[in-house]
Amino acid sequence: MKFHDQARIYIKSGAGGAGCQSFRREAFVEFGGPDGGDGGRGGHVYAEAVHGLNTLVDYRYAQHHKAKTGQHGMGRDRTGKAGEDLVLKVPVGTQIFDEDQEFMIADLVEEGQRVMIARGGEGGLGNAHFKSSTNRAPRRTTPGGPAEEMTIWLRLKLIADAGLVGLPNAGKSTFLSAATRARPKIADYPFTTLSPNLGVVYRHGGEFVIADIPGLIEGASEGVGLGTRFLGHVERTRILLHLVDGSSEDIEADFKTIRNELEQYDGGLIEKPTIIGLNKCDLLDDEEIAEKKALLESLSGQEVFVLSAAGQLHLDPVLDVMSYTVLDAKKAELEAKEQEEAEKEAQQRLDEGADSTWSPI
Ligand SMILES: Nc1nc2c(ncn2[C@@H]2O[C@H](COP(=O)(O)OP(=O)(O)OP(=O)(O)O)[C@@H](O)[C@H]2O)c(=O)[nH]1
Ligand SMILES: [Mg+2]
């Protein structure tokens, strides 16, 4: 399923720098001694979940990632510099698997979460380290620790913010390609789209992800057509954009068919904030537009946006309202989460209070 974005990459930490063998030799200094410094530690490789990334596409193009090697130790007791760490920035929600995709190495669910995936080699010890009362001129050093290298899989379960719903041919894929850099297949026959496509909309300094799913037909909620398989995906989106083909003879029936399928499908689809777009307005005259818009508004009891995805007409108001609605939904989720945490904390305090033996006199 395309809702998984994944990338296979090769990573390597830095090897540790070797310890140095060196003796102090200076004119007029009577007692030289070992002064070989330790090697520097090799760089680690970390993965960190960061805000503002939505896909793993960067890693499809850059597949080799290496941290720096530690510097060797040097004479005059100088320690080698540690190799620079490498931090792989990944979207929140990225999971890291081993090469066989069986063992999960990390699950980065929160912004700022960072895990080490390959440890840099320790720095080797210089000969200064081995000086003792019995051995004043040690010739011993140790090499730096080895680098770790491996192939890993990054996997991201993409969660779209907005789902596009509508009958086949309504222009959903066209809308996605007009609003984002996604290039889904578009054609004037039903069921052009066979699996979901995703695109990212950048707007007002933020962004949101749109999912274009195959067209819905009557009975979709029971598995007809491509059915429930894809309704399951929109179940996890925050809002919906319902596109109606303005050139259709019977937009009332078209509109109702989709609303009905959303209602029949369990999973709260019908309660999601839904924006309604009357598409293909380039094919209609003003009178028809006014009439069809009024009809949809009376059926839905809400504002209907008139647009043309193919003609790229009036897309901005639709994208604006989508972006604000997504933001509102996110804010509401955050508040609900904070509320839940506050309640949990309060409950915990209560429980602790009940356990304590302290009582006011
Ligand atoms: N004139 C006009 N044609 C449009 C517009 N939007 C889409 N189309 C055409 O409508 C046809 C269907 O568009 P798609 O984007 O493939 O429709 P879809 O909803 O993704 O269809 P399925 O994937 O089959 O469910 C294509 O021939 C598009 O060029 C529009 O605004 N105006
Ligand atoms: Mg399509």
Would you kindly state where each structural domain of the chain is located, as residue ranges? 4-157, 162-328
- pLDDT of 4: 56
Residue 174 Cβ < 6 Å to ligand 1? yes
CA distance 356 to 235: 45
Superfamily the domain 162-328 falls into = P-loop containing nucleotide triphosphate hydrolases (3.40.50.300)
Phi and psi at residue 182, to the nearest 5°: -70, 145
Q: Which residues contact 3 (CB under 8 A, 6 or more apart)?
A: 157, 158, 160, 196, 198, 211, 233
- pLDDT of 205: 79
- pLDDT of 1: 33
Give the CATH fold of the 4-157 domain.
Spo0b-associated Gtp-binding Protein; Chain: A, (2.70.210)
**Closest atom, ligand 1, to C-alpha of 166:** 19
CA distance 237 to 319: 16
CA distance 5 to 46: 20
Pocket test for ligand 1, best of 173, 185, 189, 243 (most atoms within 8 A of CB): 173
> Do 112 and 105 meet the contact criterion of CB atoms below 8 Å apart?
no
> Do 23 and 137 meet the contact criterion of CB atoms below 8 Å apart?
yes
Fold agreement (4-157, 162-328): no
Burial of 41 (0-12, 13-18, 19+ CB in 10 A): buried
Residue 19 Cβ < 6 Å to ligand 1? no
Do the strands 4-12 and 64-66 form a parallel or antiparallel pair, or are they unpaired? parallel
Do the strands 274-279 and 239-245 form a parallel or antiparallel pair, or are they unpaired? parallel
Residue 169 Cβ < 6 Å to ligand 1? yes
Ligand 1 centroid, distance to 147 Cα (angstroms)? 53
Going by alpha carbons, the residue nearest to atom 5 of ligand 1 is 310
Ligand 1 centroid, distance to 205 Cα (angstroms)? 29
CA distance 98 to 4: 17
Which stretches in the chain have pLDDT values below 70?
A: 1-4, 29-30, 158, 195, 224-230, 233, 354-361
- pLDDT of 306: 98
What pTM was estimated for this model as a whole? 0.66
DSSP for 213-232, written as a single string? -PPP-TTGGGT-TTHHHHHH
